Amino acid sequence: MTTLDRPSTTSTNRALPANASEWLHDPVFNKGTAFTDAERDALGLRGLLPPHVQTMDEQVQRVMANFHSKSSDLERYIQIVGLQDRNETLFYRVVMDHLEEMMPIIYTPTVGKACEQYGHIFRRSRGLFISLKDRGHIGTVLRNWPTRDVKVIVVTDGERILGLGDLGASGMGIPVGKLSLYTACAGIHPTQCLPITIDVGTNNETFLYDPLYIGLREKRLRGEAYDSFIEEFIQAVQNVFPRVLVQFEDFGNSNAFRLLERYRDKICTFNDDIQGTGSVALAGILSALHLTAGKQMRDQRVLILGAGEAGMGIADNIVSILQEEGCSIAEARKHIWFVDSKGLIVKGREALTEHKVHYAHDHAPCLDLLTAVKFIKPTMLVGVSGQAKSFTEEIVKAVAGFNARPVIFALSNPTSKAECTAEQAYSWTEGRAIFASGSPFAPVTLNGKTYVPGQGNNAYIFPGVGLGVVATGARRVTDAMFIKAARTLASLLRKEELAEGRIYPSLKRIHEVSLAIAVAVAEEVYASKLTDQPRPANLIQFILAQMFKPEYPDYAT
């Protein structure tokens, strides 16, 4: 087939390259040294590549050799994102084949370092940057994206990147990384994924005076002007990409809850920091119950350090489970306590926000976590505070004193922000702790026994939820989907994994996990009549058929 004979677009409505240079420089189509002899002749590539045609396996071998030669994780991040910019198919083959090794690089914890240095390591733009300069013209900016077949948007305004705070436009690493996981974990086609950073300024003084900062050098927009800008963005997205799934990511607390409530019943959207974190934490809690002498959720007292998006998402999901066990909502909330920067959240405390009031109980004030632990005697201690080392030895030992199998979740990201390490949790409890973290920790050997810490990574949840929503054409995303996702994830844990101390399946099984969650979410979509599409006879095969596989097409035929 000659260049003129080929169709002008792909199945995802992405225009094919017009000349040899574009074939080699468009990451969607570039195969690098894997272009066959027939393709080199048909596409005018003869002489523009070394003569040896490499297999994809040989290319992966070269990538991994270079990857392992790097001296730091940040250098590995730069290398692997550079591959994504050159050859997306090969990038996803590498990531899928080496997911346990790659996930800490393309996502937490290394992506946090990359965002902090984003302007300094910037090579090539990915996604869309929509700034205050674009007011009144956001639709035009969205139409600059090269394809209309966008199914998932991950958007941030950079105000609360992981536990690192306001990184402004440098937060783009987060939506890029999240969408890489949508593809690597759940098979959503990379051309159907759009990362967006909304730049409304930053209050990060270091960035404001950094000559290499890539965003607007002005203070953050607030109030009605901010809301108006977000509204224009949402309306433009609906016009340009109808029925797209919009995932809010790493917005500040003051906006995250508000925006979710404003749009959740109007468009297909969710907030991963609230709902995704709540779901993955709930799955870990349900798994932990298998290791705590058969106790039920109604037997638990959960103390959460950090009353922001993640903490409230976790609490609300626990309440849902307790309601399923027969508790009233008021009774269910009594099982959950919060400590924030001002101490234990109790009734009568001044200036409590609306979402905190629901979990304010009758109790004397406790100004620090240790005092709260001694009074509440929690069965589960969950950290989502972003405050490193806040689970001290005294605190962890106190929780262990009340429980034969204390549940300790140090979920703050990145690793530098974890409330305690896996080694500390196991050693301070003589190996009795049921531990999970947000970023990965290596297995810990104590007194001859090896413990494999769980990683409460949202990547277990959001890709599968997104796949179920996209595959069915759902109009809305509901809390029930995240409860089903959590129950599905917990149900997939194997006995041998529990025996190792895991409360999440191995990441090697992530495609199995994502498919199972997508099927559970799809069932909820059809049961709740959230789509106009008919239910397929074989739901598993229907979803499997839509999942991207990193294989090179033949452009010569």
Which residues are known to be catalytic?
Answer: 107, 178
**H-helix or E-strand spanning residue 455:** strand 454-455
The SS3 of residue 498 is helix
DSSP 8-state secondary structure symbol assigned to residue 32: G
Task: Give the separation between CA 180 and CA 187, rounded to whole angstroms.
Answer: 10
Task: Give the separation between CA 468 and CA 151, rounded to whole angstroms.
Answer: 12
DSSP 8-state secondary structure symbol assigned to residue 172: G
**Are residues 379 and 292 in contact, defined by beta-carbon separation less than 8 angstroms?**
yes
- Of 466, 465, 475, 463, nearest to 533 by C-alpha is 475
The SS3 of residue 408 is strand
Biggest alpha carbon–alpha carbon distance for the chain:
79
Give me the DSSP letters along 263-305. HTTTSSEEEIIIIIHHHHHHHHHHHHGGGTTT--GGG--EEEE
**H-helix or E-strand spanning residue 451:** strand 449-451
Task: Give the separation between CA 94 and CA 224, rounded to whole angstroms.
Answer: 45
**Are residues 385 and 411 in contact, defined by beta-carbon separation less than 8 angstroms?**
no
According to DSSP, the residues that pair with 388 across neighbouring strands are: none
